[in-house]
Structure 1
Amino acid sequence: MLGKEKRLNLSSRRRKECRTTLISIVFQQLLTMFSIMFFGFLLIRSNVINSEGTRQISTILSLFVMPATMITSFNADFDAKRLKLLLWATLAAFLTISIRAAIAHVLLKKEDRIDKYATIFPNAGFVGIPLVLATVGYEGVFFMSGYIMANNITQWTYGQYLISGDKKAMTLRQTILNPGMIGAAIGLCIYISRLPVPEFLWKSVDSLAALNTPLAMIILGSYIANSNFSELLAFPKAYWTTFLRLIVTALISIGIIYLLPIDDYMVEIVLTIASCAPAATNTAILGRLFGGDYEYGARLVVLTTLLSLFTIPIIVQFAQVLFG
């Protein structure tokens, strides 16, 4: 019911702040992220870094920084209720991804493989995590880790099949060895086992995790710098796909989250942020690996990322009214 009371796992003061200023925080964080993106854009356009440098930064981000962010989110006292909510967040992620896949199958043509991928899979890591950190902190990333695990599993199985058209492309090995999965697994093991970790190790991991937002935004800025804007605007189909990714599937995902018995405001907002993020960067990366239209995939990533500055606050505002 719309009037049901939600329990936000924060102090009363923080809960009130989150509900009254959430949109302001989201919008300010988006402006911060886009400012760093612009810095990344300038680094590429001024030849301070080249494509090889961008690839190396992306490798550092994927292999070390993002897993560190996931591990840091599990640095908390064990709570069975929080673990149950994490399971609900993971289940909700699988469910919303499945519904988005059905929508993409119905509303996009069979040959629109890249468009389907962009519609189904949001950039929960590069965009979702910085926004969650800004709005609800590392406790939110704890629940976001469940979404990212589901996202990774489906991206590296069904997503590979979707782009390649070959069922043999679906492999659990790449899923299990994905850095995000490994980071979440390590964090979860520490959390459940209550394994004591030396303070200096946590501080080291925290320091790595702090690099997540700037490095992710520099990478996205490099995508924008390498895009041909005249070509970016020359594909009418891209606008339809962008509308599906940022508006249609985001709203439907919120509806699904609302119907689930999660009953936790923070988790619902975290899932909303993940669901309304722009197209995953793997839209371009897997396109290159498996014979899809890599350049078109990169354009979709850029277009959805740029327009998400306007759509994410609107979607989050709607969710705040629905869940608040």
Structure 2
Amino acid sequence: MAIKLKDFQKRWLPKINDVLENEIIPDTDQETLAQSMSYSVNAGGKRLRPLFSLAVLTSLGQSIDHDILKACCALELMHTYSLIHDDLPAMDNDELRRGKPTNHVVYGAGMATLAGDGLQPLAFQWLVDNNLPSAIKSELVLELAKAAGPHGMVAGQADDIHFEGTKLTLSGLQKLDRNKTGALIRYAINAGLIIADVPSTQRKDLLKFAEAYGVAFQIYDDILDVVGTEQQIGKPVHQDATKNTYPNLLGLDKSYAVLQTTVNSARQSLKSASETLSSDLSLLADFCNYFEFKDEK
């Protein structure tokens, strides 16, 4: 019987949070730094990225031990580092994240910068400080480095800064978002495939799903900045007036339409992946329900 996302989250969210709450401080040799790192990691969040990795493994019938769980949680460290730096005064200068004061508001810009600096290499440490096969550890590190680095997330952040105030074409916006947001979501799916030792020739369709999901995730976030509330999304809204977003480029109605088309594409890729992998991927399909608007439109 297919596993429902709600049941899956009920099982794995406490385990993810337990790792993140208890295993950062022992790996940190400075008390304030440890507190600053833990503050942002444990400030809340959907834990979407580690859940994606674990959902792939579950869908493929792979058992999950503590080593695998911690390796999947490493991505949350990388993601949080990016949020801390994105909120800094030199970047977006945001004072609220997930309904709480941002790291630099609490600990100062210098310590917040160091907290991000600490979380990034700790993510790689968690990928290799375990009993997973060496080939799997090596591939995880390589793929995370590419996804998070200057050919992935950092490049997207750089484009976001460089082109602020300059109206991008649709293809330029897609490139920015593919790197800034999509790269780590794609890695989350890829990490599950790598740990499950799925041959690279059989990963294509599921990675297409990940790429489409990343696009949809950013479009949805862009729309929420227009129609959402601070209470709903845990950070200030209407902050993207000068930025390159789908509503700013296409308008709100067109953004909704592109979002729906993108989610449909993600679902179609899952159907193909299910055939390729001979697996029930309905759990992953449930993640697409995140994009269902109720009264916002």
Verify same fold: TM over 0.5.
Answer: no
Normalising by structure 2, report the TM-score.
0.30
Normalising by structure 1, report the TM-score.
0.29
More relative contact order in 1 or in 2 (CA 8 Å, sep 6+)?
A: 1
Q: Which has more helix, going by share of residues?
A: 1
